[in-house]
Structures are given as structure tokens and as C-alpha cells.
Amino acid sequence: MSDWMVTQGPLPRRRPRALSPLREHLRDTFWFAPTAAMVGVFAVWLVAQELDAALVRSLQDDGDFDTLADLLRFADDAKAVVSAVGSAMMTFIGVVFSISLVAVQMASGQFTPRVVRLFVRSRITKATFAVFLATFVLTLLVLTSYDSNADPRAATTVPLVQSVLTLLMVALSLLLFVLYVNATLRLMRVSHVIARIAAESLRVAALMPLPAGAGEEPDVGPVTAWVAHEGRAGVLRDVHVARLVRVARGHGVVLRLVPRTGDFLVPGTPVLAVHGGAAPPRRALRYALSVGVERTFHQDLAFGLRQLSDIGLRALSPAVNDPTTAVQALDRVVQILATLSRRPLDAVPHRDRRGTVRLVQPVPGWAELVDLGFTEVRACAAGSPQVTRRLSAAFDDLLLLVPRERRGPLLRHRELLRQAVERTAPTPADRAFALRPDRQGIG
């Protein structure tokens, strides 16, 4: 319990940075990193080729043809190595691509399709692809630099620097391949996936500014205008808080965001309510809201609980029947709820430099977060004593942490769990066993 109390301490009062649509688009694609790496290695190869040519000219000007002949013999030996590296790189690329596809399929089927984003956005995966392709391109370029003339006096270039560069790229490729396999195996283990989801959720909670009041929506007066969504349909992924605060201050109004981050928007639906004046011009609100095809963790407080609930629900399905995974998901649900147990929720006011509220951003309330974390798992857990015991312990622990006014949702879920177990368990002894609190479920 002492560890939980630490999580309830003061969190940083930082305004969340705006989500860059370009940056997020590049992180969700695989083409940018390999393309940039291939362009970069071409530029490096041009420099290395010029260094090799300068080395040959220097030796010829000094008349050191014996050293130049030794370098030509070394280049002939290195050519075989470079050729072998070029052939092996395509095999390695195929292996990496196959491993990625298998890992994505297994994670999507075993956990939830929403965790695929962990693989798509994996930096080590993109770095491995990029370096492997760059090494393959470099070997092709180096092979074109070999001079067929064996006479040191007539030689124009000896790819010495290029050969060393190729060997360094091969060493880097092997290192990245080991790191890639290790990272992929970790992402295929449910405990690491769940821990990653919880860590990102806690990061979102830490970036939420702390309201000065009790977390209730401040009194901003009646609505004087509405701003409708005019962009494409999609999920609200991000709100540019700083831009909206600046626009509201410049026009002397208060803006209230109507949808929550993660809501699906269609053109024509209200997205901003204006209090205290006319609506700001459309051009001033451009790029203030980011809409995409799927939810992200950025500013989405409920997305982590959504994924954990999906993992626990799938683990309890008859096709999987893995209550231990459901217990692991519940562990992280309890951790997130314990972190948020004493934080003001429902609405987050953002203030300008003078302390005036300029933007009110809705966030899920305590009851909504509790329902999201427990409802679906609780409904499917009545026949699994391991999960019901973990749920009972979760309710007891959270009831010790939350303020009195927030105990209602937890008491409601505990009572619904008791009723479900009584309908499922055949004997009083089975019911008592299934409802006995146990943080490990069953040992």
C-alpha cells in the first residue's frame, strides 16, 4: 500500500505539447526511416569515394607505388567479402520482415488489435530495417568503385575507406539484429505489453495539469457561439492546448471542448463551445484539433484502460481461457486507478499567463474510468475464481485509497461481482472461496 500512496503524490504541472501530425504520420509508417537511411548512406558513400580517390592521388604524387600495390591486393580480397555481404543482407532483411509479421499476428490474436501500434511504432524495428537496407545499398555502391586496372600507376581509386565503412555497417547490422530479436520477443510476452501500456497511461496522467479547484467544470457563463467540425471524419487524437488558449485570450472568450480525446467526429458536429463572445475566425483555429484513424495515448486518459480491458476480456474468452493474463491486466488497471484516485477529473481548465481560464477540456470522470477498467472483465469473470478473487482484492485496496465520495462506483462493482458469483457458484463454500480477496488470484 505504501507504493500506491507514492503514486498519489503531486504530479508535474506541465501543459501537454501539441501532437505533430507529420511526426505521428512518420512514426506510423515504415517507409521514412529506410528511405532516409538509404539517402544518407549514399551521401556517406560519396564522401568515402572521394577520400579513397584522394588517397590514391596522394600515393601516386609521392611515388609510393609499392604501398598502392598492396592496397590494390587488399581491395581484391575485400571485394569478395563485400559481395558476400550484399547477398547476405537480402536474406537478413527477409528474416526480419518474417519475424515482424509473425509477431504482429500473434500479438493481435492473443492480446488485442490495438497493441499492434507497439510494433508499428517500434524504433528498434525501424532502425533494423533501415540499417539492413542501407548496408545492402552500400555494398552495391562499393562494388561499382572497384577499379579493374591492376597497375598502381594507372589506378584511379582503391575502395579502402569504403570497404572499412562496409564492415562497420555489417557490425552495426549484427548488433541491431540481436537487439531487434530481443525487443520483439519482449513485445510478444503479455507481461511486457501490459507494463508498456500502463507506463504510457501513467505518462498521460502525469502530463495532465492539476486544476486549482476541486476538479469540477468552472463557471464560464452561457454559451454564446458554437464551432463545428469541418475536417474529415475520424478520431480526435489531440488538442493543441497552447493554440486554443492563445486564440481565446486574443478574442476575450472562453472555449470549451465538446468531445473528449478519443471520440469519433463527423463533419458538422460541434467541437467547441464559445463563452463570452463571438466565435473566433476559422483560420485562427486551424490545426487546433488533430483527427486521425485511430486513438493514441497522447492526451487520451482512457485509452490505456481500454486496451487493458480488451486484453483481460480476450484472456477470459472460451477460445483463450487464460485467467492469469486477466489477473495481470487487472494489476495494471488497479495501478492506474490508484494513481488517479485523488486527482480532479471530469474537466481540466487551462489558464493563460494571467491565470484566467481560457479553455476547458473534458476528461473521463472517476465513475467512467472505474466502469471502463472493471465492467467487461467482471461480467466474464464469474466462472473464474482466480479473477474474482483478484477483483475482490482490487475493490478492497482501492476503497482504502479513494476519498469517501468516490467509493460509490467501487461498491457497486463489488456488489455486482458478488451477485454474479452467487448465480454461478454451486455451493456456499465455492462462493466464499471465489469472493475471498487475493492479489494473486489463486497463489
Rounded to 5 degrees, φ, ψ at 290 are -110, 120
215: left (phi over 0), alpha (psi -120 to 50) or beta: left
- Confidence at residue 80, expressed as pLDDT on a 0 to 100 scale: 79
Q: What angle do CA 55, 56, 57 make, to 5 degrees?
A: 90
- Confidence at residue 215, expressed as pLDDT on a 0 to 100 scale: 46
Among 43-47, 210-214, 225-229, 314-318, name the one with the lowest average pLDDT. 210-214
- For 22, residues 6+ apart whose C-beta sits below 8 A from its C-beta are none
Average pLDDT, the chain: 83
With a cut of 70, say whether residue 15 has pLDDT above it.
no
Among 104-118, 311-325, 381-395, 398-412, name the one with the lowest average pLDDT. 104-118
DSSP 106-168: HHHHHT-GGGHHHHHT-HHHHHHHHHHHHHHHHHHHHHTT--S---TTT-----HHHHHHHHH
Dihedral over alpha carbons 362, 261, 112, 343 (to 10 degrees): -30
Residue 230 CB burial class (10 angstroms; 0-12, 13-18, ≥19)? exposed
Predicted confidence band of residue 2 (pLDDT cuts 50, 70, 90) = very low
| 3-class secondary-structure state, position 364 | coil
User: pTM value?
Assistant: 0.77
For the stretch 430-441, pLDDT in tens is 889 999 999 998
Q: How far apart are CA 270 and CA 255, in angstroms?
A: 12
DSSP 292-328: ESS--STT-TTHHHHHHHHHHHHHTSTTT--HHHHHH
β-pair type (254-257, 357-362): parallel
Residue 234 CB burial class (10 angstroms; 0-12, 13-18, ≥19)? middle
Predicted confidence band of residue 347 (pLDDT cuts 50, 70, 90) = confident
For the stretch 311-327, pLDDT in tens is 999 889 888 888 999 99
β-pair type (347-351, 357-362): antiparallel
With a cut of 50, say whether residue 8 has pLDDT above it.
no
- For 278, residues 6+ apart whose C-beta sits below 8 A from its C-beta are 224, 225, 251, 253
3-state DSSP helix/strand/coil percent for the chain, to nearest 5? 60, 10, 30
Among 6-10, 77-81, 86-90, 422-426, name the one with the lowest average pLDDT. 6-10
How many Cα atoms occupy the beta-carbon half-sphere of 334 within 13 Å?
24
With a cut of 80, say whether residue 349 has pLDDT above it.
yes
